[in-house]
Structure 1
Amino acid sequence: MTDTAQPEGYEETAFTADRIPRQAPPPPKGKLGKLGDAFDMARLPWGHYVGVNPSEFEYEYAGGWYRDYEYMGEEGFHDYNHLNEVRWSKFIDEDISLIYRFFRFWFVVLSHGFSFIAPGGEKGGGWLFCGLVAVATILFLFAADTILAALTPLAITVGVCGVATIFKSLYETYSIRFYKSNQNWSDDVAFCRRSGLVKSFQGNFHFYEFDAFIEMAADMKGNQRHTLKVRHRYPQFSKDKRNGLPLEFTFPTDTGSIAERYAMWDMLSRFMDVSQPLPDIPRLEPFRHLDPTTRAFDEAGNRGRPATYWRDLYARVDEQELNRLRAEHHEKVNATPWGSRPDLMAQSVPGYEDSYTAEPEDVNAYAHAPTKNVRFVERPGPEATSSDADHQDTQR
């Protein structure tokens, strides 16, 4: 750990990767030893940022954020958004009744499930339902008394799906007006950049006390689902008193690529590290000038983009072009060499290297192991980080 001065404009507790203090050893592992908990596939490394953001709809190349921003303006969008230059909120407190929540839930399920239009301009479930009924209509066409009787179920299905499509369109157009007045993203359950703290109902903890894991779960058919979990390393201090579970946060991504989970952890780490500018994503662009490190970075010309790059892009392209750009970015995420980077935290936590450190050269191979021939390699030790850090700097 180097003795680097804290950047101005942040609290003394703010996080930087080169100011991680010495910490206590993690608690002993359970019966599964190096693999940790039952479904932990990998613990992701600290530091040595790659600088590639995930392709998740919330962050790159989807139009939802821009619609909200256009309606609210910069000032309203700042507090409405779950992500700004101060905090990455993980909890929403809505000022509405339980009865309303119940009816809204089923309204959204039915309208979105039967709509002909899905998010991103894709085809929705309405096409599937109408297709199934259409096939059934052809099969039983000659069994019905009249053609009208045979076509009635199909007509009803098309009508229901058409109404659902209208309701979904109205919901997306007008729901923002309702949410603007009562959707309050909490500052009390959030990753806070300026203080370096992770706030929760169990207490407030330093960001460097957390570790990121790729968690795997499988359904009854054997299909795997991978999720990024950010978990407090010392659960004896942060367990939920109601259920005894350790403090952890889930960061979902909408693609099947494990590399996307690595990119999410990389982006969260850079968001919390005040020596780094804010991640260059659409949702944070309106607030870049409010963050001291990012403002200095941009004013020095290091961003290499106009101040309104994302807003100008979204103002001129359509949904089809956004989907194309997003697919290209997803390929970039998958092609990034995420695996086998040194783990900075091994310098600060005794016994940290005893946990599971082997990973595939191609991190997406986690989804195939052990059914395919995957080459696992050990992460380099923390003492071999200088040349690797120089290599990572050339990637940004």
Structure 2
Amino acid sequence: MNQTEQQHEHYAETAFRADAIPRQAPPPEKSIWGKLGSNFDIARLPWGNYVGINPSEFEYEYSGGWYRDFEYMGEQDFHGFNHINELRWSKFVDEDISLIYRFFRFWFVFWTHLLSFIGPGGGKGGGWFFTSIVAVCTILFLFAADTILAALTPLAITVGLCGVATVFKTLFEKHSIRFYKSNQNWSDDVAFCRRSGLVKSFQGNFPFYEFDAFIEMAADMKGNQRHTLKVRHRYPQFSKDKHSGLPMEFTFPTDTGSIAERYAMWDMLGRYMDVSQPLPDIPRLEPFRHLDPTTKAFDEAGKRGRPATYWRDLYAKASEQELKQWREEHRQVVDAAPWGSRPDLMAQSVPGYGDSYTAEPEDVNAYGRFPSKSDRFVERAEANDAFPQNKRDSD
């Protein structure tokens, strides 16, 4: 059986290919699916024309968490209990536990992670912040206390609580995988499915090409901004939530840093769903690359340029400090990538799709700051010949 036959047997006829997006209906008026409140969209991200760079969010690059799970479970169990494999990228987890347990676990995780000296990715946690505040107060009121012991007691209690929280957080992260393996199941009913090209949800199943990616900004009462990647169904009249009336959308977590990270996440999701592309080369997908025909052919042709166990070997030897350094270096790669002003492939398939474009900065991180004279905003180029120039030679 040749490669083409293997792909036709493995992938459904509805599988997504960026060079074969069908003609679709015009999108509805924005007023139909716009949301009220403090959140609003600042950019709609382009389709196709992949840059080929993955986000540096710790769940996908340079974090030891995935390797700990993989080492404990083994490849067979890891396939089913990982949120992403070669078949689906799950967006919903179903736990076989009681509400009482969920309640106590939430507060246990909340306080241990808030007060721990160790933060995400091995960085400094909230424990250092609280200890520093109490330490400053101790110095200020040292001479007002009756005894030195009385002055140092609040600091000692804070250090003790944060130390206990650090221990519990470490134990939870080390041993929670045992509970996860037996009680937690990532759902195939709410997922982005590579084999079928469908996005499955409780509201129905819809083709991936009917979804658009947006950078959404939310502001708190102090004016602080945060940016989120939202992947939203273009035709909410068929998929909006019956109770809230809001359009169906999915949030993809990304690094708390630059807006470029949101572009990288959308780029990775597109390549994941596009069966003309190999699977994104991230640690969590490495054990399943040989199970996907396009990816297997790509790797066997030597185009990956890495050993089959590249990520596993790297994580088995790397220290947390090395992973942190590599993650910081990768963030710079993401920020420097040419995300802005790329042609949008979807403009060829959806009438009126490009009419709502606004000028886009060449450096997309300009969305997250006040415009300056150095920021260059330009219109997106035409997409007529964009995809063939970018398409990988993986067919």
TM-score class, shorter-chain normalisation, is over 0.9
CA distance in 1 between partners of 2:120 and 2:263 (Å)? 24
CA distance in 2 between partners of 1:183 and 1:23 (Å)? 38
Matched residue of 2:7: which SS? coil
Percent identity of the aligned residues?
78
Return the offset for 1:270: 0.4
- CA deviations 1:112-150 (Å, max 9, x no partner) are 111111122212111221221122122222222222222
CA distance in 1 between partners of 2:57 and 2:12 (Å)? 30
Map of 1:330 onto structure 2:
331
The residue correspondences of 1:221-240 to structure 2 (distance < 5 A) are 221-240=222-241
| Alignment-mate amino acid for residue 389 of structure 2 | D
The residue correspondences of 1:117-132 to structure 2 (distance < 5 A) are 117-132=118-133
Map of 2:193 onto structure 1:
192
Cα 1:207–1:121 shift into 2, 3 Å = same
Matched residue of 2:143: which SS? coil
Matched residue of 1:382: which SS? coil
* Equivalent residues, number: 386
Contact 2:39 2:219 in 1 (8 A): no
Map of 1:246 onto structure 2:
247
- CA deviations 1:28-87 (Å, max 9, x no partner) are 223999xxx961111111111111111011110011000000100101111111000000
- CA deviations 1:277-307 (Å, max 9, x no partner) are 0000000000001111111111111111000
Contact 1:342 1:384 in 2 (8 A): no
- Which sits farther off after the overlay, 136-145 or 368-377? 368-377
CA distance in 2 between partners of 1:290 and 1:49 (Å)? 23
| Alignment-mate amino acid for residue 43 of structure 2 | A
Matched residue of 2:60: which SS? coil
| Alignment-mate amino acid for residue 390 of structure 1 | Q
Return the offset for 1:218: 1.6
CA distance in 1 between partners of 2:346 and 2:136 (Å)? 58
Matched residue of 2:215: which SS? strand
- Taking structure 2 as the reference length, the TM-score comes to 0.93
Map of 1:14 onto structure 2:
15
Cα 1:30–1:371 shift into 2, 3 Å = farther
Map of 1:382 onto structure 2:
383
Return the offset for 1:7: 3.3
Map of 1:214 onto structure 2:
215
- CA deviations 1:229-251 (Å, max 9, x no partner) are 10000000001001101000011
| Alignment-mate amino acid for residue 95 of structure 1 | D
- CA deviations 1:200-252 (Å, max 9, x no partner) are 01000000000111111122222221111100000000010011010000112
Contact 1:210 1:230 in 2 (8 A): yes
| Alignment-mate amino acid for residue 164 of structure 2 | V
Matched residue of 1:88: which SS? strand
CA distance in 2 between partners of 1:87 and 1:187 (Å)? 7
- Taking structure 1 as the reference length, the TM-score comes to 0.93
Cα 1:344–1:6 shift into 2, 3 Å = farther
CA distance in 1 between partners of 2:300 and 2:119 (Å)? 40
Return the offset for 1:393: 5.7
Contact 2:50 2:390 in 1 (8 A): no
Cα 1:224–1:289 shift into 2, 3 Å = same
Matched residue of 1:267: which SS? helix
The residue correspondences of 1:326-365 to structure 2 (distance < 5 A) are 326-365=327-366
CA distance in 1 between partners of 2:334 and 2:354 (Å)? 27
**Stretches of structure 1 lacking an aligned partner (at least 5 in a row):** none
CA distance in 1 between partners of 2:136 and 2:41 (Å)? 44
Contact 1:226 1:256 in 2 (8 A): no
CA distance in 1 between partners of 2:218 and 2:141 (Å)? 41
